[in-house]
């Protein structure tokens, strides 16, 4: 039986991609129009990074798709 102390770890990951890149939206937002869609990635990512910095936490960011 283990009697030592245990440390619980939490991992935070973020998939960085535009909302319009979802496969289910392909009929409504074709890939050919992506460069005309407004980008929200930079602002959203910045907000998450600022929150992590304020709270002394870190995360792993995976950049997906077309950013």
Note whether residue 43 is domain-resident.
Answer: yes
User: What range does the domain containing 32 cover?
Assistant: 13-63
Pick from 46, 48, 67, 43: nearest CA to 59: 48
Number of residues written out for the chain:
67
Note whether residue 59 is domain-resident.
Answer: yes
Over residues 5-23, the pLDDT tens digits come to 788 889 999 999 998 888 8
Note whether residue 40 is domain-resident.
Answer: yes
- This prediction's pTM: 0.73
Q: Note whether 26 and 66 are within 8 A (CB).
A: no
Note whether residue 3 is domain-resident.
Answer: no
Quote the number of domains for the chain. Answer: 1
The number of beta carbons lying within 10 Å of the beta carbon of residue 20 is 19
Question: Which one-letter DSSP state was computed for residue 67?
Answer: -
Note whether residue 1 is domain-resident.
Answer: no
Residue 4 has pLDDT above 80, yes or no: no
Note whether residue 6 is domain-resident.
Answer: no
Q: Note whether 20 and 41 are within 8 A (CB).
A: no
Note whether residue 42 is domain-resident.
Answer: yes
Over residues 51-66, the pLDDT tens digits come to 999 999 999 999 977 7
Note whether residue 53 is domain-resident.
Answer: yes
């Amino acid at each position: 039986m283990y009697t030592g102390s245990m440390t619980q770890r939490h991992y935070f990951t973020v998939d960085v991609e535009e909302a319009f890149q979802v496969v289910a939206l392909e009929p409504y937002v074709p890939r050919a129009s992506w460069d005309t869609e407004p980008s929200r990635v930079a602002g959203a990512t910045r907000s998450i990074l600022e929150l992590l910095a304020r709270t002394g936490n870190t995360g792993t960011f995976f950049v997906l798709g077309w950013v």
